[in-house]
Every structure is written in C-alpha cells, then in structure tokens.
C-alpha cells in the first residue's frame, strides 16, 4: 500500500486510488487522494 504525507491530516496516510505519474524531468511520482480526509496527496517515487 502506497503512503504519502497528507498536509491536511499532518501525518502519513494511505493513498487511495494511487496513480503513477511522470514528472517533467521524467522522475516518477505517485498521485492520489488521502484515505482519511480525501485531500489530494502526492509523493515522489515509485508506487
Ligand atoms: Zn488527509
């Protein structure tokens, strides 16, 4: 399960609907929504 830091919850949360995305510089990131509050979360790195 992918995790990311949620700015709203101020803690690490599970990423709901994690999606692997490529940044402009071709590095990978994971984008999804916080499983706790539903805010968008983002993490640099592989899923
Ligand atoms: Zn949250």
> Residue 45 has what pLDDT?
83
pTM of the model as a whole: 0.79
> Residue 2 has what pLDDT?
87
Ligand 1 midpoint to CA 13 (Å): 7
Q: What is the pLDDT of residues 5-47, one digit of tens each?
A: 999 999 999 999 999 999 999 899 999 999 999 999 999 987 5
> Residue 47 has what pLDDT?
59
> Residue 19 has what pLDDT?
93
Ligand 1 midpoint to CA 10 (Å): 7
Contacts 24+ apart (CB under 8 A), 36-42: 36/6, 36/9, 37/6, 37/8, 37/9, 37/13, 39/6, 39/7, 39/8, 39/9, 41/4, 41/5, 41/6, 41/7, 41/13, 41/15, 42/4
Ligand 1 midpoint to CA 5 (Å): 8
């Amino acid at each position: 399960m992918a995790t990311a830091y949620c700015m709203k919850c101020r803690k690490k949360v599970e990423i709901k609907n994690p999606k692997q995305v490529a940044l402009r510089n071709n590095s990978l990131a994971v984008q999804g929504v916080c499983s706790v509050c539903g805010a968008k979360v983002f993490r640099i790195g592989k899923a």
